[in-house]
Chain A
Amino acid sequence: MGSTSVAESAASAMSFEELVEKHQAMVFSLAYHFLHDRAAAEEVAQDVFLQLYFHLEEMDSPVHIVFWLRKVTANRSIDEARRRHRRAEVGIEAAGDPASPAAADEWVNLRLRRLIASLPERQRMIVILRYQEDLEPVEIAALLEVSVNTVKSQLQRALILLREKAGVEKRA
């Protein structure tokens, strides 16, 4: 965006819509992978962009906008989950064999997403920020306002839990 401030360049409605289109997948996916509910995720995502619109003049740069969007989406998603007391239950489902390799991949993805959705909230968000957004622990710590050590230990615990659950299903 060069030297022009984001607030100035985003002043027109068209610029803001472009901003939404640029970041909507990130915001929606963060909320969706956390809540495991498309409708709830869309609601959260809309709220986040609505909030962004009224705080646009506080944004310093495109990098700041991305940081702000991730942070607000993470917080809103956690709040929404607590409000709905949402924690997806994952049973050992008797699943049939997928018909094709592509379907098999999608089947694995679906199972993994359900397992992730069953994690405790903080671990869940850390896993999503790490593997969806490719963020390093220090970046996740800044976003969630926790220590780097907390992020590392929570991530390690989450991975152990996910591997165990995935391993149990494989044996079944």
Chain B
Amino acid sequence: MDPFEEHLKNALRREEPRAGFAGRVRARITVQEKRTRRASWSSLPRLRWALGILLCVGIVAGVSYRHDQVERARGEAAKQQVYVALRLAGAKMQLAELKVRHLSE
């Protein structure tokens, strides 16, 4: 190393920070750890709220689905009644047609 570089080495020698540095670092770690713990616990009430809302939505969805099922079943039954009525009407028509033919003969 030349003399100028030696000067640079001298100018850049290590220096200590203010006394108590390690203690200040420890204090920051403690604060950070408390923050981290608080953040994980503070999410619990929110979690409860979210679960409650989900439960309500689930109940409403279930009731709505059951209502739909009942309505569909009623609709099917009504449809079946119409089919039976149409068939009966059809059979009666055929009978009336036969009678008319017989009378005209």
How many residue pairs, one in A and one in B, have C-beta atoms under 8 Å apart?
83
Interface residues on chain A, size class: 35 or more
Which secondary structure dominates where chain A touches chain B? Answer: helix
Residue B39 CB within 8 A of the other chain: no
Q: Would you list which residues of chain A between 23 and 46 have a CB under 8 Å from chain B?
A: 24-26, 28-29, 32-33, 38, 41-42, 45-46
Nearest CB to that of A17 among chain B residues?
B22
CB-CB under 8 A for A109 and B11, given A42-B17, A166-B4: yes
Measured as residues with beta carbon below 8 angstroms from the partner, the interface class of chain B is 20 to 34
A46 touches B8 (CB 8 A): no
Other-chain residue from A25, A38, A41, A131 in contact with B5 (beta carbon distance below 8 A): A131
> In the assembly, what is the distance between CA of A16 and CA of B22, in Å?
9
A165 to chain B, nearest CB (A): 11
**B42 interfacial contact with A, CB 8 Å:** no
Q: Which residues of A contact B32 (CB under 8 A)?
A: 50, 54
Q: Are A42 and B11 in contact (CB under 8 A)?
A: no
Q: With the chains together, A45 CA to B24 CA distance in Å?
A: 11
A13 close to B (CB within 8 Å):
yes
Decide yes or no whether B100 CB sits under 8 A from chain A: no
**B44 at interface (Cβ–Cβ under 8 A)?**
no
Of A25, A54, A112, which one neighbours B14 at CB under 8 angstroms?
A25
> Which chain A residue lies CB-closest to B30?
A13
- Among B8-34, those with CB < 8 Å from A are 8-18, 21-22, 24-26, 28-29, 32
Q: Which residues from chain B contact A108 at a C-beta distance below 8 Å?
A: 7, 11
Interface pair A109/B10, CB less than 8 Å apart: yes
User: SS class of chain B's interface: helix, strand, loop or mixed?
Assistant: helix
Nearest A residue to B22, CB-CB: A20
Q: Which residues of A contact B29 (CB under 8 A)?
A: 50, 53
A116:B15 contact, CB within 8 angstroms: no
CA distance A46 to B16 in the complex (A): 13
Contacts of A28 in B (CB 8 A): 14-17, 21
* Given A29-B13, A38-B18, A128-B12, 8 additional A-B pairs, CB 8 A: A17-B25, A25-B14, A25-B17, A28-B15, A50-B32, A159-B5, A163-B4, A166-B4
Which B residues lie at the A interface, using CB under 8 A? 4-5, 7-18, 21-22, 24-26, 28-29, 32
| Residues in chain A within 8 A of chain B (CB atoms) | 13, 16-17, 20-21, 24-26, 28-29, 32-33, 38, 41-42, 45-46, 49-50, 53-54, 105, 108-110, 112-113, 116, 127-128, 131-132, 159, 162-163, 166
